[in-house]
Amino acid sequence: MATLTSAQNRKLWGSTQIVARYKTLGLSALLVLFTILILVGYLSPFGYMSVTSIKNKPQITEKDILPMSAVVYRHEGDAIPEWSVLTGSKYPLYNVPGDDGAIREWALIATLDDRVIFLDPKRVQEVAIEWMGDPATIEPSVQPETFTYVGTGYKDEGVLRGTAYPLYELEVGGVTRKLALFKSEGDTHFFLDPEDPESGIVQWRGDLASAKALEQTKLFTYRGKKIPEVVLQPGATYPLYEVPTVDGGTQRWAMVQKGVGAVETYFINPDDLDAGILAWSEQPFADQQKPTDRPVRQFGPQWSNFETAWNKLNFLEPLFNTLMIAIFGVIGTVISCTLVAYAFTRFPLPFKNVLFMILISTIILPKQVTLVPTYFVFSQVLGWTGTWLPLIVPHFFANAYNVLLLRQYFSSLPIELDEAAMIDGAGPFRILLSVIIPQAWPAIVAVSLFHFVFAWNDYFEPLIYTLSNPKIAPLSVRIQIFNFVFDQKPHLIQATALMGLVVPVLLFFLAQRVFMRGVIMTGVER
């Protein structure tokens, strides 16, 4: 039989060690990756809350994870007065006298210090007209103001649905009214009330020429090519864009007005204001980079959300209420549960195990089962509604879960310490204070934190007991009310929720080491 040499054995053994090492590293890597995935999934709501709390409403609708704000240019120079003619915009028509004495009906688009800018509706493709005359000499072109009847109640009277009827201002029964004329028979005229057309027909006798016909300014809707506007005003801000230039580079310009389609976009160069307004079109740069659809952006957290939420909620008041309820509840829980756990651990009580099992069985009892009778006692018998008493007093009577944790920890403490203290003359109460409690601080801290977090997050019981007195309501109730009021402002809601987390999270991290030791040791049975 062939045998391996010592060198072959070492080589084979070394290869086996390498394979085992790589397997260990692979398993460790998988475990770390799995842990990271679990943490990411678990902490993602907290991350969303934190990020949303420092956004404003427009930032929430954007795709950026972090709050981003546009980098802007603030114009500090002189205003540049020009006009704007936008497709689809409506402009009033005026009767404008020309140099030849003829009256022209032009659309007014801008009034400057030394001139008035018009547009001829009959020649909309031409440039705007600068008129140097006195604006006081021109009058607006008017047309009758009308009312369109959309009902069906006066068909027999000659009132047609969808027909526009002229409006008049006349006196009826000593009251001046605004009425729509739909029919005249001699000197008798028939009107409808535009504000309440179904209220009936109004008859009026008299000369219609004596009534005041209501008129409105005639409007012209521009449908031609856009005439550029310059809106640079001192102190105004404009977003910065990376704009491609003819030489293939980019320059950071401030967008004054964004074009649509073939209409040019207008920029200003913050570094060269003397260059004036820069018209940019995609057409000359069709084979180059297009300007970004979004302006240059930077990290822009909205820290003012916390100040706003703090003031809107009056945060100090519910914070004080919550701290009082939680602190007094912790005191009652620690005292009562410590005494009960000590009794179950050290005293030879009759039927001790049975009593302990009965106590522990209450853990599985749903809260809803005891809610009705306890509410009846606190509200009808004791009259404690509208106070903190129903939220504090019950915790001075031992809680089964906390008793279980403390009993398990007390059981892990050597009973020889109690016997040594008894030899020195210590009684049961002195043993508890001087021997048990100093060694049980980890468990007591764990119980305190458990109850503090419970009291901090409790919502339903504070709601029903403080409903009649909202000023004593804790944070959980006040934040929920805040959510109803500001349901359209999720950034304020998340900011409020984040502020409500500060105290329990900070308390947990400060007592983390003692808390974890207490949690671990409470599961050790002596």
What pLDDT, in 10s, does the model give residues 45-103? 878 888 888 887 777 777 777 887 777 666 666 555 455 566 667 788 888 887 777 88
Q: Which of 180, 156, 176, 170 is nearest to 212 (CA)?
A: 170
Boundaries of every domain in the chain: 90-141, 144-217, 237-299, 308-521
pLDDT over 70 (residue 14): no
Q: Any idea which residue has 């031992």 for tokens?
A: 398
Q: What local confidence, expressed as pLDDT, does residue 323 receive?
A: 93
Q: Which of 341, 300, 334, 293 is nearest to 446 (CA)?
A: 334
Helix or strand holding residue 139 (H, E)? strand 139-140
So what CATH class is 308-521? mainly alpha
264: DSSP letter: P
- Specify the higher pLDDT residue, 114 or 417: 417
Widest Cα–Cα separation across the chain = 138
Q: Which two tokens stand for residue 448?
A: 């305190």
Q: What local confidence, expressed as pLDDT, does residue 332 receive?
A: 93
Contact indicator for 138, 94 with CB cutoff of 8 Å: yes
- Specify the higher pLDDT residue, 373 or 257: 373
Q: Which of 374, 390, 362 is nearest to 473 (CA)?
A: 390
pLDDT over 80 (residue 212): yes
Alpha helix (H) ranges present in 226-376?
304-313, 316-346, 352-361, 367-376
pLDDT over 70 (residue 520): no
The Cα 420–Cα 399 span in angstroms is: 31
Q: What local confidence, expressed as pLDDT, does residue 5 receive?
A: 60
The Cα 252–Cα 243 span in angstroms is: 6
Q: At 377, give phi and psi (nearest 5°).
A: -65, -50
The Cα 266–Cα 273 span in angstroms is: 13
Residues in the chain: 526
pLDDT over 50 (residue 435): yes
pLDDT over 60 (residue 485): yes
Q: Which of 83-87, 266-270, 464-468 has the lowest mean pLDDT?
A: 83-87
Question: Radius of gyration (Cα) for the chain, nearest Å?
Answer: 41
Q: What local confidence, expressed as pLDDT, does residue 8 receive?
A: 53
- Which amino acid, one-letter code, is at 507? L
pLDDT over 70 (residue 434): yes
3-state secondary structure 452-512: HHHHHHCCHHHHHHHCCCHHHCCHHHHHHHHHHHCCCCHHHHHHHHHHHHHHHHHHHHHCH
Contact indicator for 403, 341 with CB cutoff of 8 Å: yes
pLDDT over 90 (residue 322): yes
Cα 451 to Cα 293, 401, 513: the distances in Å are: 53, 10, 18
Question: How many angstroms separate the first and last alpha carbons of the chain?
Answer: 59
Q: What local confidence, expressed as pLDDT, does residue 331 receive?
A: 94
Cα-Cα-Cα-Cα dihedral sign, residues 154, 155, 156, 159:
positive
Contact indicator for 184, 173 with CB cutoff of 8 Å: no
Task: Output the average pLDDT for the chain.
Answer: 79
pLDDT over 80 (residue 109): no
Q: Residue 317: pLDDT band by 50, 70, 90 thresholds?
A: very high
Q: Which two tokens stand for residue 1?
A: 């039989």
> 122, exposed or middle or buried, with CB in 10 Å at 0-12, 13-18, 19+?
exposed
Share of the chain above pLDDT 70, in %: 81
Number of neighbours of residue 405 by Cβ within 10 angstroms: 22
The Cα 449–Cα 440 span in angstroms is: 14
Contact indicator for 181, 168 with CB cutoff of 8 Å: yes
Q: What local confidence, expressed as pLDDT, does residue 329 receive?
A: 93
The Cα 439–Cα 512 span in angstroms is: 17
The Cα 405–Cα 443 span in angstroms is: 7
